[in-house]
C-alpha cells in the first residue's frame, strides 16, 4: 500500500475543533474505508468516469485510497468527537456538519490519517475539508525533490501521478 505523503513532517491533529481525537480518528477512518469500498463497489461508473476524465489512472486512485461518498449525510459533532461549532456547512441542524457527496481524498502521512477532503463530481465544484482535519497543504512525494505548488486538488494529483519520482507536489486548498 502506498501513502499520500512520503515526507517526514510531523503534523498533529487539529486540536482546536477536537474534544476526542481518538473518536474523530476512528470515525474518519471508518468513513474513508467505506468511501473507498463504495468507489470500488457496485454502481460506481459515474465517479470512476469522473476520475478518469480528471486524468487519474485506476492505479493512482487506488494507491491514494480515494473514495466516493455517494450521498450527502449529516453527522453530529459529538458522535465524531468534535466540539460543537456553528455549523457552516450543514443544511439542517446546528449541532451537525455535512458530508457532501463527492470524491473522498484522505491525506495520510506515515500511515496516519490527518485530513479528509471531499471534491464534488463537478470538475469546477467545491472542495471541502472535513471538520477535525489538520489544516495546511497536502504534500505528495519526497521533499528532497523540487517542490511544485498548485491550488487545484486534481491538478496536483495528476502532477504527482506523472512526476512522483522527480517532484514533490504541494497542494494548497481552502480551509473550511
Are 17 and 83 within 8 A, CB to CB? Answer: yes
Per residue in 120-134, is it b (16+ CB within 10 Å) or e — as a string?
eeeeeeebbbbbbbb
The mean per-residue pLDDT over the stretch 4-17 comes to: 43
**DSSP letter string over 60-102?**
HHHHTT-EEE-S-EEEETGGGTBPP---SS-SS-TTEEEE-SE
Query: Which domains, from first to last, does the chain contain?
Result: 21-134 (3.90.980.10)
Confidence of residue 9 (pLDDT cuts 50, 70, 90): very low
Question: What is the pLDDT at residue 87?
Answer: 45
C-alpha distances in Å from residue 14, one per residue of 23, 49, 57: 13, 33, 31
Residue 1 has pLDDT above 90, yes or no: no
Please name which of 109, 163, 159, 131 lies closest in space to residue 19, comparing C-alpha atoms: 131
More confident residue, 139 or 1: 139
Each residue's pLDDT tens digit, 127-149: 999 999 999 899 999 999 999 99
| Phi, psi torsion values for 60, nearest 5 degrees | -65, -45
Average pLDDT along the chain: 86
Q: Say which residue the cell 467545491 belongs to.
A: 126
Under the banding of pLDDT at 50, 70 and 90, the label for residue 2 is very low
Q: What is the pLDDT of residues 19-76, one digit of tens each?
A: 899 999 999 999 999 999 999 999 899 999 999 999 999 999 999 999 999 999 999 9
Residue-wise pLDDT tens digits, 79-125: 999 987 654 554 556 789 999 999 999 999 889 999 999 999 998 88
Of residues 159, 171, 60, 69, the one with CA closest to residue 121: 69
Task: Work out the pLDDT band at 174, boundaries 50, 70, 90.
Answer: confident
Query: Distance between terminal CA atoms of the chain?
Result: 29
Task: Check whether 5 has a pLDDT greater than 80.
Answer: no
Instruction: Decide: helix, strand or coil at residue 108.
Output: strand
Amino acid at each position: 500500500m502506498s501513502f499520500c505523503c512520503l515526507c517526514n513532517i510531523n503534523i498533529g491533529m487539529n486540536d482546536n475543533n477536537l474534544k476526542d481525537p481518538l473518536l474523530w480518528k476512528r470515525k474518519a477512518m471508518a468513513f474513508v474505508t467505506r468511501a473507498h469500498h463504495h468507489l470500488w463497489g457496485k454502481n460506481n461508473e459515474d465517479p470512476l468516469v469522473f476520475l478518469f476524465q480528471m486524468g487519474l489512472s485506476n492505479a493512482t486512485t487506488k494507491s491514494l485510497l480515494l473514495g466516493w461518498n455517494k450521498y450527502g449525510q449529516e453527522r453530529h459533532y459529538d458522535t465524531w468527537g468534535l466540539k460543537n461549532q456553528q455549523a457552516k456547512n450543514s443544511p439542517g441542524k446546528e449541532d451537525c456538519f455535512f458530508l457532501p457527496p463527492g470524491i473522498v481524498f484522505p491525506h495520510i502521512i506515515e500511515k496516519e490519517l490527518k485530513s479528509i477532503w471531499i471534491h464534488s463530481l463537478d470538475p469546477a465544484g467545491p472542495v471541502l475539508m472535513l471538520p477535525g482535519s489538520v489544516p495546511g497543504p497536502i504534500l505528495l512525494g519526497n521533499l528532497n525533490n523540487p517542490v511544485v505548488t498548485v491550488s487545484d486538488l486534481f491538478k496536483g494529483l495528476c502532477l504527482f501521478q506523472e512526476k512522483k519520482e522527480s517532484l514533490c507536489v504541494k497542494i494548497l486548498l481552502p480551509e473550511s
